[in-house]
Amino acid sequence: MNIPSRRIHIACALALAWVASPASAAEVAIVNPSFEQDSFAGEFTVTNAVSGWRALGEGGQRGLLAPDAPGTQTFYSGATPGFDGKNIEFHWNGQSGIEQVLTERLQANTRYTLTVASGTRNGGGGAFGRYDIRLTTETGKPVVSWSGASRNLAAPGTFADTGRSFETGANPSGLGERLRIELRGGPLANTYVDLDNVRLVAAPVAARPASTPIDVFIVSGQSNSQGWGANSARLSAGNRHYADVPDPRALLGYRQHLLGDALASIGSMAQLDTQGSGFSGNFDGFGPELALGSDYAVGSDKPVAIIKYAVGAAGLAQNFVKTGASGAPLYPTLIQHIQAMLAELRGQGYAPTLRAMFWLQGESDALFGTSAAYGANLSRFIADVRTDVQAPQLRFYATQINPNMPAFADSAARAGMQQVNAGMVQAANADPQRVFYVRTDDISAGFADNIHYSADQTIDIGRRWAARYLSGQ
């Protein structure tokens, strides 16, 4: 069947990565990858016995579902595009998981691309919860992993692919151990995850030296930093290459969600890419990091890793300041995520150096009464981050809140927006060699909604960031 895929660019990226090698990409053998080996009567069966897979000792229910079987459920009624065969594997009502240890062993200098199709039900049957997908070694050494929360990227009644790619380097942890795939649902009650068509591709890549230097950027802020309205399917022809063929020298490790969500979307440090689920609709989204990473790799001819932590609706005073946050404190998680991603880079054989932080935040402060103190809060926040990540010369790029967005047409909102932007200028003026103000007010129309950038505009922000950093200011 035709599977809507967010991995059209994989073949191109693989070709770039292993062009110097005489070998080619190969599909890794998985037993019962589409869950077709088991037969059952009716529409579904709750079972721990899925051929080729072992149930993990966790709660919740798991089993097999036949979307096209005659019956009363209409989760995927009729001829369902996007799933492979007649069965899918489901998780329901609390965290549950399955795993399979493969015959394939972890190899050096190899790019592994794991892809899984996930579905969004047509009404009823609870809400989409969260998938948690991992490729590890048999003793648990991580290779690549990601989770999706909030909305799934597949439209209701369909399946769509989600996946990530990772290059092992010269001496990966667990070298020679058999690989293991783990598929889990989320821990929330009355939620589901439907999965199908598991694929793993291995491709040789050119060897890189141990302790390869890599520049590291932090991307943080609220929903525009996340890319809440940036649907990769709506990119213009001139910007399609950012989603279809991200530069293979760029990496991304992300953590993102909407303030108040019980779960976050999280990805291990792997190849730069769009991020699948967790955006404002059922689409494959991204933030400005997509253009930042590729443009920097091209402009500098160096590898780069981006550590992303973005929380929609979060405020600086309310959430991000280190001390005295009036709402849910996000600062500890930000620092923990940065440290965890740096540790992953070191484990992958890189020698990371933190270079800059790119900040796209301020709408919440502008709209909810904390704008007057924005400049002082931002300067304190920058100093705290530099200290806690041990990068005293870290450059900081504060991105103007766009005054042309419809959300700021109201006089009170406009006054708050002006105070936030003035606070950014204040922070930049206080530290002109290391803090920079990135203007956006020439972007005047075509927004995704009243307060979010479109896909092309999100690319534009990332390109501005890369250009400013490469120019040394």
Mean of pLDDT values over 442-469: 98
Q: How many helices (H) and strands (E) does the chain have?
A: 9, 20
- Is residue 12 pLDDT above 90, yes or no? no
Confidence at 424, pLDDT banded by 50, 70, 90: very high
Q: Do 138 and 229 fall into the same domain? A: no
Q: Do 227 and 315 fall into the same domain? A: yes
Q: Do 171 and 260 fall into the same domain? A: no
More confident residue, 79 or 15: 79
Conformation bin of residue 127: beta by default, left when phi > 0, alpha when psi is -120 to 50: beta
Q: Do 342 and 397 fall into the same domain? A: yes
The domain total for the chain is: 2
Does 5 fall in a domain?
no
CB-based contacts of 208, cutoff 8 Å, min separation 6: 109, 169, 170, 349
**Which CATH number characterizes residue 397's domain?**
3.40.50.1110
Does 3 fall in a domain?
no
- Is residue 3 pLDDT above 50, yes or no? no
Instruction: Give the C-alpha separation, 116 to 76, whole Å.
Output: 17
Q: What percent of the chain has pLDDT over 90?
A: 86
pLDDT at position 20 is 35
Copy the structure tokens of residue 200.
């793993």
Q: Do 86 and 198 fall into the same domain? A: yes
Copy the structure tokens of residue 335.
């620092």
Q: Do 242 and 185 fall into the same domain? A: no
- Is residue 8 pLDDT above 50, yes or no? no
Conformation bin of residue 295: beta by default, left when phi > 0, alpha when psi is -120 to 50: alpha
- Phi then psi dihedrals of residue 336, to 5 deg: -60, -40
CA quadruple 71, 74, 78, 84: dihedral sign: negative
Q: Do 167 and 258 fall into the same domain? A: no
pLDDT at position 23 is 57
Copy the structure tokens of residue 378.
């931002």
DSSP 375-435: HHHHHHHHHHHHHHTT-TT-EEEEEPPPTTSGGG-SHHHHHHHHHHHHHHHHHHHHSTTTE
pLDDT at position 37 is 96
Confidence at 9, pLDDT banded by 50, 70, 90: very low
Residue type, 144: V
More confident residue, 17 or 68: 68
Does 438 fall in a domain?
yes
Q: Do 102 and 170 fall into the same domain? A: yes
- Is residue 15 pLDDT above 60, yes or no? no
**Digit-coded pLDDT (tens) for 204-237:** 999 999 899 999 999 999 999 999 999 999 999 9
Q: Do 257 and 175 fall into the same domain? A: no
The domain boundary, picked from 140, 170, 204, lies at 204
pLDDT at position 79 is 59
Does 20 fall in a domain?
yes
**Which CATH number characterizes residue 75's domain?**
2.60.120.260
Does 338 fall in a domain?
yes
Q: Do 446 and 339 fall into the same domain? A: yes
- Is residue 6 pLDDT above 50, yes or no? no
- Phi then psi dihedrals of residue 83, to 5 deg: -110, 160
- Is residue 158 pLDDT above 60, yes or no? yes
| DSSP-derived 3-state class of residue 14 | helix
More confident residue, 99 or 7: 99
CA quadruple 165, 337, 223, 404: dihedral sign: negative
Q: Do 123 and 38 fall into the same domain? A: yes
- Phi then psi dihedrals of residue 347, to 5 deg: -65, -25
pLDDT at position 140 is 96
CA atoms within 13 A on the CB side of 406: 8
Residue among 286, 375, 382, 397 nearest 334 (CA):
382
What is the residue range of 332's domain? 212-470
The domain boundary, picked from 187, 204, 221, lies at 204
Q: Do 338 and 300 fall into the same domain? A: yes
Mean of pLDDT values over 364-368: 97
Does 4 fall in a domain?
no
